[in-house]
Amino acid sequence: MGFDRIAAATDQAERIARLRLSRTQRIGPVNFANLMLRFGSATRALEELPQVVKRTGGSLTPYPVARLDEELARAEAAGARLLVLGDNDYPVLLKQIDAAPPVLWTLGPLKPRKKAVGIVGARNASAAGQKIAQTLAHELGDAGFHVISGLARGVDTRAHEMSLKSGTVAVLGGGVDDIYPPDNRGLYEQIREHGLLVSESPLGHRATASDFPRRNRIISGLSLGTIVVEAELRSGSLITARLAAEQNREVFAVPGSPLDPRCRGANDLLRQGANLCESAEDVIRVLEAQMGFNAPETAGLSPAPDIIAQPQNEDDIARVSHKLLDLVSETPVHRDDLLRLCGAQPWIGLAALSELEIAGRLTASEGGFYSRS
């Protein structure tokens, strides 16, 4: 509900304002959506934010215009295209997920379709694992699916190579101009020519370890289902599978030998209830039964969170913000408990929590917990 209610940008200035707002410190996807629904536009949110956070004793410096101009210049030189939440071309499946990226940069001619499947797996995949990834990508492409992956070595590389003709999308941790790993430069150029490169990171940004979990939620978010070919018990592929399940998407796993550590993660997914995948037919059968390709665009998808669904009263938000500051200590407290204890209507309490996080007064942690910064 929250992300779908963000209106299309009225002009290019508003689209650039959304990019700047999304790059501002402490404004992640959820806070971005909060602010958009609260103020109606990124332009107004940027104008109001300094005073809004000041009233709770916090501070905020909007993303520097000089750095924004540098990013836009890099994008123009690379031929990258900006997509913002609210654009008609923003991927339908992706905007349905929790914490949908406020902005995306893309390179390439392909437009991602709803009929898409993610294929992920080990970077050091076995010969058998790489062969399975190739076969799945080829057969799913022949069945009309786009293949989504992360351009990593091993399984990702094979999945992209075999779906270049049918349609492949590479989601990057760095900017869309960051070729990583370097030995996939040739494949990167082929995808740029025939497929699509996608990233929420600024152009010029070089991928770091912390970027890949964010990248993984986009892989699963663009896909009706995610296939794990080979993965160790502690791997990024299992993070992608977990995110797919949280997004109410299907998870598939290719079984492997219990003697091979690279298969333990996929086998564990099967133990937890993932769909068995021995061929593309297994994937197609499940998706046709569970989703239906002729259903409405939102069928079978989890709704985005109801962030702020009511008109806002700034005085009420300010009052609740101060009350929440009194309730929160260094010990993390769950959001639901804070909303109950502050006695405010939920949408007012959520707006106040967002405001305090943006102001740097509260720190949000995984699972919906808040503590004093």
pLDDT at 3: 62
pLDDT at 4: 61
What's the burial of 196, exposed, middle or buried (CB within 10 Å: 0-12/13-18/19+)?
buried
What is the value of pTM for the model shown?
0.89
Query: Are 211 and 173 spatial neighbours (Cβ–Cβ below 8 Å)?
Result: yes
Q: Where are the alpha helices (DSSP H) in 177-295?
A: 185-194, 211-221, 236-246, 261-271, 280-290
Strand partners, 333: 370
Rg (CA), the chain: 21
pLDDT at 296: 36
Position with higher pLDDT, 232 vs 312: 232
Q: Are residues 259 and 329 in the same domain?
A: no
Q: Are residues 213 and 283 in the same domain?
A: yes
Q: Are residues 257 and 132 in the same domain?
A: yes
Q: Are residues 222 and 260 in the same domain?
A: yes
Out of 5-14, 163-172, 346-355, the most confident range is 163-172
Which among 133, 348, 146 is positioned nearest to 253, based on CA atoms? 133
Would you say residue 3 lies in a domain? no
pLDDT at 295: 40
Would you say residue 33 lies in a domain? no
- Looking at residues 20-43, what average pLDDT do you find? 93
SS3 247: coil
Would you say residue 57 lies in a domain? no
Q: Are residues 218 and 355 in the same domain?
A: no
* CATH code of the domain in which 156 resides: 3.40.50.450
Q: Are residues 158 and 227 in the same domain?
A: yes
- Whether the pLDDT of residue 73 is over 80: the answer is yes
Give DSSP secondary structure letters for 7-61: PPPSSHHHHHHHHHHHHSTT--HHHHHHHHHHHSSHHHHHHHHHHHHHTTT----
Residue 267, token pair as written in the block: 């086998």
| Per-residue model confidence as pLDDT tens digits over 201-222 | 999 999 999 999 999 999 999 9
42-54 helix and 346-358 helix, angle to the nearest 10 degrees? 80
Q: How far apart are CA 106 and CA 122, in angstroms?
A: 25
Domain that holds residue 169: 113-175+209-290
Q: Are residues 214 and 350 in the same domain?
A: no
| Per-residue model confidence as pLDDT tens digits over 130-177 | 999 999 999 999 999 999 999 999 999 999 999 999 999 999 999 999
pLDDT at 291: 62
Residue 118, token pair as written in the block: 């993610």
What's the burial of 87, exposed, middle or buried (CB within 10 Å: 0-12/13-18/19+)?
middle
Q: Pairing relation of β-strands 146-149 and 168-171?
A: parallel
Q: Are residues 143 and 268 in the same domain?
A: yes
* CATH code of the domain in which 355 resides: 1.10.10.10
SS3 26: coil
Would you say residue 5 lies in a domain? no
Please give the mean pLDDT across all residues of the chain: 90
| Per-residue model confidence as pLDDT tens digits over 284-309 | 999 988 765 444 343 333 333 444 44
- Looking at residues 113-123, what average pLDDT do you find? 95
Would you say residue 50 lies in a domain? no
Q: Are residues 142 and 284 in the same domain?
A: yes
Residue 104, token pair as written in the block: 């995306």
- Looking at residues 120-137, what average pLDDT do you find? 97
Number of structural domains the chain divides into: 2
- Whether the pLDDT of residue 350 is over 80: the answer is yes
- Whether the pLDDT of residue 2 is over 80: the answer is no
Would you say residue 131 lies in a domain? yes
Q: Are residues 148 and 227 in the same domain?
A: yes
Q: Are residues 331 and 367 in the same domain?
A: yes
In this structure, the dihedral spanned by the alpha carbons of residues 269, 274, 280 and 285, taken in order and rounded to 10 degrees, is 180
pLDDT at 346: 86
Window from 18-32, 65-79, 304-318 with minimum mean pLDDT = 304-318
Among 275, 290, 305, which residue terminates a domain? 290
Query: Are 45 and 354 spatial neighbours (Cβ–Cβ below 8 Å)?
Result: no
pLDDT band at 315 (very low <50, low <70, confident <90, very high): confident
pLDDT at 302: 36
Would you say residue 135 lies in a domain? yes
Q: Are residues 284 and 320 in the same domain?
A: no
Would you say residue 262 lies in a domain? yes
Residue 181 preceded by cis peptide, ω within 30: yes
